[in-house]
Amino acid sequence: MSTTAINTARGQVNLTIAGTQYPIKFNLNVLRDWTKLTGRAASEFGLAIVEDHIEAFSGLIMCAVRRLVPGHAGYTQEQVVDLLDEMSQPEADQLAEAISEATTAVNPLLASMSKQFAKRAQSLNPSTPTENGATGTTSASAS
């Protein structure tokens, strides 16, 4: 498996399978596929890595290959692990950066939705903490 960075900061790498390079992006659909595979929330990916890093990484990479590499819909985690065994350190570094960015960076729409929900909750209940954790209540002071 060979990876050449496309834009690892956006969760992208080139993945070489059977001598052919394919662009892979660990996007929201790949993360959704992983959640369906594991039954865990995407936000639990970091915990899954701690609990069983081989299973977590191979599952996520398998989901990306199945979704994004033509003719590889039946690709297995065992095949991914075989590729990982052959990976060089620079390739591993690029792949790790892409996965890290994709699983920890907040998607722009999700970030906007979180802000909107916080504003809405604040307007409905002024004692609700805002995004930064401060409450919006005001206290009257006697002079």
The domain segmentation of the chain, as residue ranges, is 8-105
> What DSSP character marks residue 136?
-
pLDDT bin (cut points 50, 70, 90) of residue 5 is very low
Quick check: 3 pLDDT over 50? no
β-bridge mates for residue 17, sequence order: 20
First to last CA, the chain: 73
d(CA 46, CA 71): 30
In this predicted structure, what is the pLDDT of residue 135?
54
**CB-hemisphere CA count at 13 Å for 133?**
0
Lowest mean pLDDT among 11-20, 54-63, 129-138: 129-138
d(CA 56, CA 116): 32
Structure-model confidence comparison of residues 5 and 25, the more confident one: 25
Structure-model confidence comparison of residues 38 and 92, the more confident one: 38
Among the listed residues 77, 78, 97, the one whose alpha carbon sits nearest the alpha carbon of residue 89: 97
β-bridge mates for residue 129, sequence order: 135
d(CA 64, CA 25): 7
Which pLDDT tens digit goes with each residue over 79-96?
999 999 988 888 888 898
In this predicted structure, what is the pLDDT of residue 33?
97
d(CA 54, CA 52): 6
β-bridge mates for residue 12, sequence order: 25
In this predicted structure, what is the pLDDT of residue 4?
46
pTM of the model: 0.73
Structure-model confidence comparison of residues 119 and 136, the more confident one: 119
pLDDT bin (cut points 50, 70, 90) of residue 2 is very low
In this predicted structure, what is the pLDDT of residue 129?
63
Side chain identity at 109, as an amino acid letter? L
